[in-house]
Amino acid sequence: MNPQVQAQAAAAAQDAVRFGHPAFLWLLLGVPLLLGLIALAWRARARARVAWAGSLFDRLTPDLDRGRERLRVALFLLGFAFVVLALARPQWGGETVMMKRKGIDVLVALDTSNSMLAEDMRPNRLASAKRAVADLVTRMGGDRIGLIAVAGEAYVVCPLTLDHGTVLLLLDSMNPNSVSIQGTNLEDAIRRARAAFVREEHKHKALVLVTDGESTTGDAVREAQQAGEEGVLIYTIGIGSPDGQPIPERDENGNVSGYKRDRAGNVVNSRLDEDTLRKIAAATNGRYFRASQQGVELAMVLNELQALEKKDLEGQLATNYEERYQWPLALGVLLLGVEILVPYRRRREA
């Protein structure tokens, strides 16, 4: 948005009334409800008086002032309404400031190939990886984060953004159908990451590659070396077991109907390729971590990322609103106090 337009919008927001806790405004519905209940109570009381004393009641209570009764009800309802407004914390005025955030750019490349359906991590590699990435995103604070889906090719699911809620939403939707071409092309994942980062910057950039490492195409190590020359640090997280695990195939009910086989008819045993992942990380002076069911490596990755030098990310105008709840609160307390002091009966003349 144009800075001048931003400033005009912020100035207009200053003049507008807003509420810090708008949910309390629902209590204002109690005003007509209380009024209705009081009216019903008055009507029932009037019928009881007629049944008890008939037309003699006014003569028996000459000092009873119905006007003062109505005044007390009005004062109480108005006082109640102003106290509710105070609870909702009305705000207006204040000052507009430019809020700047410091952070780094982090791309997470998640392997969504069929091999990630192996169940040596519970419930499977992909689900375990998505859970770990979601936890990482939640803890990242003010950093820009993006997502890359990796299989036989790679593509950017979410460009770098400060909107972590969108990142989590798109992460949840990632599955083996996210990329139509099967396989695991880690070279293409790193190439896509290099293109997504600001090429002119030679720091503040990190790629977190979450995969079982079975790269069937491309030279990922050579691509990682080029990324390292551009200042990209790559942290690899290995998902799965070096011993390997077959890839289950499930029917429409979710039951295992068999295991994936190669063209020769042999059951495919998907293994974690730690050697490749170590070489990729080492090419950029990054680190390799092997994922565990407990997710302890997540804290280590987070510590590595938080130790990187931060940069100023895009700023935005923000308004610090002035709290104005004191005015309706004072008025509400005053009205309720006056209501208590107003007597129901007139003074009798001597």
**DSSP string over 59-70:** HH-TTB-HHHHH
Residue 141 lies in a domain: yes
Do 229 and 91 share a domain, yes or no?
Answer: no
Residue with tokens 């006014």: 58
The angle, 0 to 180 degrees and rounded to 10, between the axes of the packed helices 220-229 and 186-196 is 20
| Buried b / exposed e along 62-73 (16+ C-beta atoms within 10 A) | eeeeeeeeeebb
Residue 32 lies in a domain: yes
Domain extent at residue 11 = 3-95+319-341
Between CA 176 and CA 62 the distance in angstroms is: 86
236 in Cβ contact with 280 (< 8 Å): yes
Residue 13 lies in a domain: yes
Do 89 and 124 share a domain, yes or no?
Answer: no
Mean pLDDT across the stretch 152-169?
93
Do 181 and 85 share a domain, yes or no?
Answer: no
pLDDT at 128: 92
Mean pLDDT across the stretch 290-306?
86
Between CA 298 and CA 87 the distance in angstroms is: 42
Beta strand ranges found along the chain (DSSP E): 18-19, 90-103, 105-111, 144-150, 154-161, 205-211, 232-238, 245-246, 248-250, 256-259, 269-270, 288-290, 311-323
Residue 346 lies in a domain: no
Beta-carbon contacts of residue 190 (< 8 Å; ≥ 6 apart): 109, 207, 209, 220, 223, 224, 227, 234, 280
**pTM recorded for the entire structure:** 0.64
128 in Cβ contact with 119 (< 8 Å): no
Tell me how many domains the chain contains: 2
Between CA 79 and CA 72 the distance in angstroms is: 10
Q: Which two tokens stand for residue 141?
A: 């604070």
pLDDT in tens, 132-153: 999 999 998 889 999 999 999 9
Q: Which two tokens stand for residue 257?
A: 């109907």
Do 129 and 72 share a domain, yes or no?
Answer: no
Residue 349 lies in a domain: no
pLDDT in tens, 239-295: 988 888 888 888 787 788 888 887 888 888 888 999 999 999 999 999 999 988 777
Q: What is the CB-side half-sphere exposure of residue 149 using CA atoms within 13 A?
A: 22
Mean pLDDT across the stretch 66-90?
90
Q: Which two tokens stand for residue 234?
A: 């790559």
Closest CA to 133 of 254, 300, 298: 298
146 in Cβ contact with 167 (< 8 Å): yes
CATH number at residue 170: 3.40.50.410
The count of other CB atoms within 10 Å of the CB of residue 279 is 17
Share of the chain above pLDDT 90, in %: 49
Mean pLDDT across the stretch 147-175?
94
Residue 51 lies in a domain: yes
Do 277 and 180 share a domain, yes or no?
Answer: yes
Residue 111: pLDDT band (50, 70, 90) is very high
Instruction: Give the largest Cα separation in the chain, rounded.
Output: 117
Between CA 103 and CA 122 the distance in angstroms is: 33
Residue 347 lies in a domain: no
Residue 283 lies in a domain: yes
234 in Cβ contact with 190 (< 8 Å): yes
Q: Beta strands 105-111 and 144-150: pairing type?
A: parallel
Share of the chain above pLDDT 70, in %: 85
User: Residue 238: exposed, middle, or buried by beta-carbon count in 10 A (0-12, 13-18, 19+)?
Assistant: buried
Q: Which two tokens stand for residue 174?
A: 């990632």
Average pLDDT of the chain?
85
Q: Beta strands 90-103 and 18-19: pairing type?
A: antiparallel
**Amino acid, single-letter form, for residue 14:** Q
Do 156 and 133 share a domain, yes or no?
Answer: yes
First-to-final CA distance of the chain: 77
Q: Which of 47-56, 144-153, 161-170, 232-241 has the lowest mean pLDDT?
A: 47-56
Do 42 and 174 share a domain, yes or no?
Answer: no
Do 160 and 296 share a domain, yes or no?
Answer: yes
